[in-house]
Amino acid sequence: MAHRIECADAGMDCAFVVESESDDELVELAKLHGQRQHHVEMDEADVRELIKPAG
């Protein structure tokens, strides 16, 4: 089952959305996005709380 993370759910004014079958991949991609686009370091546990079902 696919899951997703939306940057806006982290409180950012940003349309970034990532979907994947792998929660580990979601976390990695979301953390990279935060670092590169928002200059924010996020804790893995905090990112995992943003995961929700896709669709």
The string of pLDDT tens digits covering residues 32-50 is 999 999 999 999 999 999 9
Cα separation, 29 vs 17, in Å, equals 10
**What is the DSSP secondary structure assignment for residue 19, as one 8-state letter?**
E
pTM (2 d.p.): 0.90
Q: Residue 8's pLDDT is what? A: 96
Confidence (pLDDT) at 55: 82
Q: Give me the residue spans of the domains in the chain.
A: 3-53
- 41 CA to centre of own chain: 12
The pLDDT tens digits for 12-38 are 999 999 999 999 999 999 999 999 999
pLDDT value of residue 13: 96
- Amino acid occupying residue 46: D
